[in-house]
Amino acid sequence: MGPRWRDFATGALALLGLTLTPAAALAEPAPADTAAFTLFGWLSPPADSTTEARLAQMADLSFNLALPAWLDQGQLADNLTRLDFAGAHGIRCLIWDDRFNGAWHWLPTFEDTLDQVVADYRDHPAFWGYYLGDEPPASEWPLLHRLRESLRQRDPIHPAWNNLSGRVIYPTGVSFADTVTSYAELVHPAVLCADHYDFTVTGDRGQFVENAAILRSVADAHSLPFWAIIQLIPHSSYRPLTLGEVSWQVSQLLAYGARGIGYFTYWPPDPDPAFNWGTAIMGGDGQPSPWYDRLRRFNEGVRQAGVILASSRWRRTTHSGSVPMGGLPFTPDDWIVNVSGRAAIGEFEGPRGEKYVLVANSDSLTGRTIALGLNGYRATIVERGQNVFCPNAAAPATADASSLSLGAGEFALVSLEPIAAGTAAMAVAPNPGSGMMSFSIQVTSPNARFEILDTSGRRIWSQAVAAGPVSVVWRGERDHGGTATPGIYFVRVAGAGQESVRRFAWLGTR
């Protein structure tokens, strides 16, 4: 352990009232947890702007990984400085070292060089792994594999990492899937990662969900976690985005169980008239742009939800209301009977059988209400990704999470708890509604009755319902004829002496 790392360890232990003994100084290096949830901004500041305050800002954004800078020089001293500052704020680093360029010739002395590179980084507590470049063409994969394996032999707990081009450069989803599969089988990465940018000045490509679905499929086939890098900074033909569009990308990826999400970019690249870089999270003057505060609030929920989902098993992701390219339409299962509204619905099972549903608003421009018809479960909000700076921010959360008000591109992570036998769970959509109201009900009592009541408790309409998942449509009818007037009503499902009641607003017929 070098002096920089000894100082870091001494300071951390001092906060706990402990001292660093010689034995503790020889602690084993921390392995990279590729299964953990990772949030990062690509790029990091260049060496002359890398300070502890900068890394503190990254931590304030809930980032837990730092990548190299734009055109990073890969100098050992610069890398050690970034590692020291990152470690002080709970961030780990992917490191590019200029000595890796020797792989292009692979002289006998390069083996000794790799020994030294590994020795220089592997014991640092903030070191995550070796950065080996961006979007390598297939012609470089054999060399990439050789370098990756050579590093793995020397350092089995810190993986080599690189990012692939996403769906955007491929003519079809099939060709993208085939290429990513070939990469996984030849290179054997520790993490499957690709970037995809969907929003251009001439229109949206509509391939974002397909990109996520293919990464999910290939990663599962090879027992890998997958990461994705999303568009933020305007450049070239990519247009400026709204907060809803940026958060929509993140929310959709969470619904597919991405273990890592990166923003392109945190720090702006060097000025370039060809790319015409726009506003990143940090400005070219080193000051936070408006994105900083917007994402700081949103990322709090992203990080918390990601941690929960990273320890859970992905079951499936489906889409209600509309089905994007590469997505699957929602179909009822043993958790959810139906969904009202446009949303991506990700289902996950926790390590102790916990049931989680990630509901992501599929509208990136405006808020929506998403209603879940649950199969004998009660929904509770666990975490939300809210756009508090967005003009279409969601309404405050309610205790009943089967009906969710989500702002543009927002998500909510809900847990499902079984409802005791003899009660009924229901969702009402839309609420308020006019013309036609849909009630999704899981009835667990036999011979139950569905009733619409006015505010005085008088029954105005009813019908018998059997046990099991039931859907009821009400168009304002009254049992004795006529149509109900607009107002507040209650729906009650009762049977065997127990009942469930929901309040809703009826706006009348169209």
Q: What is the pLDDT of residues 273-290, one digit of tens each?
A: 999 999 999 998 899 999
Same domain, 65 and 123: yes
Cβ atoms within 10 Å of 18's Cβ, excluding its own:
11
Same domain, 300 and 444: no
Local confidence band at 421 (pLDDT 50, 70, 90 cut-offs): low
The domain that holds 407 is classified in CATH as 2.60.40.1180
Looking at 386, 418, 450, the residue that finishes a domain is 418
Closest CA to 199 of 164, 249, 163: 249
Per-residue confidence (pLDDT) for residue 18, from 0 to 100: 41
Local confidence band at 132 (pLDDT 50, 70, 90 cut-offs): very high
Same domain, 67 and 145: yes
Q: Is 394 helix (H, G, I), strand (E, B) or coil?
A: coil
Calpha distance 361→369 (Å, rounded) = 8
Residue 233 has pLDDT above 80, yes or no: yes
Confirm whether 228 is domain-assigned. Answer: yes
Angle ∠(20,21,27) on CA atoms, nearest 5: 85
Confirm whether 9 is domain-assigned. Answer: no
**Range in 56-65, 168-177, 393-402 with the lowest mean pLDDT:** 393-402
Cis peptide before 51 (omega within 30 of 0): no
Looking at 254, 286, 310, the residue that finishes a domain is 310
Same domain, 230 and 118: yes
Q: Is 44 helix (H, G, I), strand (E, B) or coil?
A: strand
- At 321-344, the pLDDT tens digits run 999 999 999 999 999 988 999 999
Same domain, 324 and 287: no
Task: Give the C-alpha distances (Å, rounded to integers) separating 486 from 181, 230, 306, 416, 509.
Answer: 57, 45, 42, 33, 8
Same domain, 149 and 89: yes
Same domain, 362 and 438: no
Same domain, 76 and 163: yes
Calpha distance 25→28 (Å, rounded) = 9
Confirm whether 7 is domain-assigned. Answer: no
Per-residue confidence (pLDDT) for residue 337, from 0 to 100: 85
Same domain, 180 and 300: yes
Residue 496 has pLDDT above 80, yes or no: no
Local confidence band at 510 (pLDDT 50, 70, 90 cut-offs): low
Looking at 310, 338, 363, the residue that finishes a domain is 310
Residue 23 has pLDDT above 50, yes or no: no
Confirm whether 153 is domain-assigned. Answer: yes
Domain that includes residue 361, residue range: 313-418
Same domain, 431 and 391: no
What's the rounded mean pLDDT across residues 148-172? 98
What's the rounded mean pLDDT across residues 81-108? 97
Confirm whether 5 is domain-assigned. Answer: no
- At 61-94, the pLDDT tens digits run 999 999 999 999 999 999 999 999 999 999 999 9
Per-residue confidence (pLDDT) for residue 391, from 0 to 100: 61
Q: What mean pLDDT value characterizes the chain? A: 89
What's the rounded mean pLDDT across residues 220-229? 98
Stronger pLDDT, 457 or 234, i.e. the higher one: 234
pTM, two decimals, is: 0.81
Angle between helices 243-255 and 290-310 in degrees, nearest 10: 10
Same domain, 185 and 73: yes
Angle between helices 109-121 and 76-87 in degrees, nearest 10: 20
Same domain, 322 and 193: no
Residue 443 has pLDDT above 50, yes or no: yes
